[in-house]
Amino acid sequence: MRVKNFCQKAFWGFSCGAEPVPNAPLSHKGREAGKHDGAKRRKPYSPLSSVLCLLLTACSPLLSQPDISPERFDLGLGSVDAATSARPIPFELRAAPALDTAAMRYRLNYADPTRVMEYSRSRWVGTASEILEQYLKSHLRQADTRSQNTKRCYFDLELLRFEQVFTSAEESHATLIVRARLQSPGQGVLDESNLELTAPASTPDASGGVKALARAAGRLAQTLSQRFAAEGCQTSINNLEGK
């Protein structure tokens, strides 16, 4: 900040003198006089002027680039039909250490698939696991609440990938990978698998990636709900009651 203030003061208090732009051609009568006048007006640069010009050149990026706050995203608000008695499916979610950040990640698979990059002007409102957890709390519901199943279960989820992948400069998709373990108290792990969900992005930018990840998260919720029912599980009234 001190450097920026110095640059601003220097900018308003001094201007680097560039080589004078030639005037329009003089008339024949004024040509000789113009030469003498020009010789009198033109002054050599002083060492101090040269130093100030160099400083202003170094300051120019600070003067020309205003501070811009990044855009903040989540996966959208969940909506549950009040007329249904669907109960939330209990789960716990954690993330790989690399995803414990608000950075929005993407890859350029067509250039270097091993390199992970981050959008500089777009961020999540929380960490990747917090974003997905917020979404699943609204969307992960038991499909059939009339089931006679009595086995109480919950999901142990680990988020492994949460990013936008570009296959070309104009084409991309969301990739969401979760390791899902369905567990029941007293019976241990009932089912375990890595779920990979993808969805195409409508635009090749951060906004398109966010919308694609929201669709992939919706497919994840649907897949988990189906597996929950297939194992004969039932939700408890309180989310993790009976673990």
Domains of the chain in sequence order: 2-64 (no CATH), 85-234 (3.40.50.10610)
DSSP string, 168-197: SSS-EEEEEEEEEEEEETTTEEEEEEEEEE
Cβ-contact 155, 90 below 8 angstroms? yes
What is the spatial distance between Cα 87 and Cα 147, in angstroms, rounded to a whole number? 12
pLDDT in tens, the chain (243 residues): 554 454 444 444 444 444 333 333 334 444 444 444 444 455 555 556 555 555 555 555 555 555 678 899 999 876 555 445 578 999 999 999 999 999 999 999 999 999 999 999 999 999 999 999 999 999 998 766 555 666 789 999 999 999 999 999 999 999 999 999 999 888 889 999 999 999 999 999 999 999 999 999 999 999 999 999 888 888 764 544 444
Q: Is the pTM of this model over 0.75?
A: no
